[in-house]
């Protein structure tokens, strides 16, 4: 009897609560010609939850072993990666007061950090002399520390930072969907973090964990 072909597309990462088990439908998509078989495969438990916060992983081989032990007449083909990293964490406290406190602390830290960074940069490049030269270029008059130049410079600095880190309003839906520089950096950071954690888990945990 010819085996039923089953195609499984796995995700790269899955977050779950403490003691939460994972079923195959939580890790990706399943396709086969039999709708009944597909539902049974999707509802097969492939990972038992942990009792504490940690990082873990599950491999395509482990998933295949679980499925073939329950369904002997299937031919499994995986699409995508062969390992899924698991982030096991407890539910966060959603207290609005705590969230406001965190947001306020982050905003204050970023504000003063950015202010000090700009001040140190201005001191390094001697911005006062640069503004004096610009003032002379525009007016033809030598003036020490022309404070009037700080107004357009401050406005330009704020507009430039806003334009760089935020998506500008656009009539084009495609343009609005494009990520900003900070979004790209966070995405790259998440990928590097997951690669590092996966390498650490592979080194610390034996291949056969059953």
**Sorting pLDDT into bands at 50, 70 and 90, what band is 57?**
very high
Encode pLDDT of 124-171 as tens digits.
888 888 888 888 888 888 888 888 888 888 898 888 877 776 666 666
This prediction's pTM? 0.67
Q: With contact defined as beta carbons under 8 Å apart, do 18 and 88 qualify?
A: yes
Beta bridge partners of 164: none
State the average pLDDT over residues 53-60: 91
Task: Flag whether pLDDT at 1 surpasses 80.
Answer: no
Alpha-carbon distance of 110 to 117, in angstroms, equals 10
Domains observed in the chain: 4-89 (2.60.480.10), 144-188 (no CATH)
More confident residue, 183 or 209: 183
44-83 per-residue burial string, b: 16 or more CB within 10 A, e: under 16? bebbeebeeeeebbbbbebbbebbeeebeebebebeebee
Q: What is the mean pLDDT of residues 86-109?
A: 85
pLDDT range class, residue 67, cuts 50, 70, 90: very high
pLDDT tier, 106 (very low <50, low <70, confident <90, very high otherwise) = very high
**pLDDT range class, residue 196, cuts 50, 70, 90:** very high
The per-residue pLDDT for 209 is 47
Distances (CA, A) of 18 to 26, 33, 90, 115, 167: 15, 35, 6, 41, 37
Q: Within 10 Å of residue 101's Cβ, how many Cβ atoms?
A: 11
Task: List the structure tokens of 35.
Answer: 């709708």
Asked whether residue 178 carries a pLDDT value surpassing 90, the answer given is no
Q: How far is CA 160 from the centre of its chain?
A: 25
Instruction: Please give the Cα distance from 10 to 112 (Å, whole number).
Output: 43
């Amino acid at each position: 009897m010819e085996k039923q072909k089953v195609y499984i597309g796995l995700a790269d990462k899955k977050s779950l609560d403490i003691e939460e088990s994972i079923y195959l439908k939580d890790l990706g998509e399943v396709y086969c010609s039999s709708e009944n078989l597909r539902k049974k495969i999707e509802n097969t438990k492939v990972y038992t939850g942990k009792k504490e916060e940690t990082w873990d992983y599950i491999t395509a081989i482990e998933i295949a072993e679980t499925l073939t032990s329950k369904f002997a007449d299937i031919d499994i083909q995986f699409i995508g990666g062969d390992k899924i990293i698991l982030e096991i964490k407890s539910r966060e406290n959603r207290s609005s007061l705590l969230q406001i406190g965190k947001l306020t602390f982050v905003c204050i830290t970023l504000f003063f950090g950015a202010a000090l960074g700009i001040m140190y940069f201005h001191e390094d490049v001697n911005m006062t002399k640069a503004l004096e030269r610009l003032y002379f270029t525009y007016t033809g008059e030598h003036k020490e520390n022309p404070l009037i130049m700080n107004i357009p410079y401050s406005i330009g600095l704020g507009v430039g930072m806003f334009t760089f880190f935020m998506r500008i309003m656009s009539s084009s839906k495609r343009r609005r969907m494009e990520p900003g520089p900070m979004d790209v950096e966070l995405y790259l950071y998440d990928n590097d973090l997951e690669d590092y954690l996966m390498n650490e888990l592979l080194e610390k945990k034996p291949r056969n964990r059953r």
